[in-house]
Amino acid sequence: MKIVMAVIKPFKLEEVRDALTALGVHGLTVTEVKGYGRQKGHTEIYRGAEYAVSFLPKIKIEVAVSADLVASAVEAIANAARTGQIGDGKIFVVPLEKAVRIRTGETDGDAL
Ligand SMILES: Nc1ncnc2c1ncn2[C@@H]1O[C@H](COP(=O)(O)OP(=O)(O)OP(=O)(O)O)[C@@H](O)[C@H]1O
Ligand SMILES: [Mg+2]
């Protein structure tokens, strides 16, 4: 199992969620975050307004997936989140040791 963590442009959230749902992903955690990439200190457009500051609003998505879904989840997120402009975001894949579905006690693949 892996955690696929992605930082994306906020307006891309619905598209990314739809793409993951189409793959059979059943759950998702979303956090409002701020960050910057390589253009730190440079201007990037966010909802028509220019931000001359280093930190820009982003959405972080975390999804736990079984090993067989990792590649397709990464591809789905990348395709859905891409605009081709700077600031499209990044995807990180992190090992996941254990998962527990609290209500049922199911673990690992059964818990996702
Ligand atoms: N090395 C990193 N570690 C952690 N988070 C990062 C890293 N790089 C980017 N991020 C996060 O991803 C967001 C989007 O990054 P961004 O897409 O601007 O990366 P980039 O490398 O500058 O690519 P681009 O040139 O396409 O803009 C950042 O605001 C930050 O939250
Ligand atoms: Mg950037």
Give per-residue pLDDT as tens, 18-39: 999 999 999 999 999 999 988 7
* Confidence (pLDDT) at 76: 98
Residue carrying structure tokens 């500051």? 53
Give residue 96's domain range.
2-111
Ligand 1 near 6 CB (within 6 A): no
The arithmetic mean of pLDDT across residues 88-96, rounded, is 98
* Confidence (pLDDT) at 51: 57
Measured in Å, residue 37 CA sits from the centre of ligand 1 at: 3
Q: Is the pTM of this model over 0.85?
A: yes
CA angle 110, 111, 112 (to 5 degrees): 95
Q: What is the mean pLDDT of the chain?
A: 92
Between 42 and 30, the higher pLDDT residue: 30
What is the band of 54 on the pLDDT scale with cuts at 50, 70, 90? confident
DSSP type of residue 78: H
The pair of structure tokens assigned to 68 is: 């067989």
Q: Which residues, 6+ apart, have CB-to-CB distance to 95 below 8 Å?
A: 1, 2, 3
The pair of structure tokens assigned to 95 is: 């090992």
Residue carrying structure tokens 């739809």? 18
CATH of the domain at 101: 3.30.70.120
- What is the position in ligand 1's atom list of the atom closest to the CA of 34? 31
Strands 44-46 and 29-35: unpaired
Domain count, the chain: 1
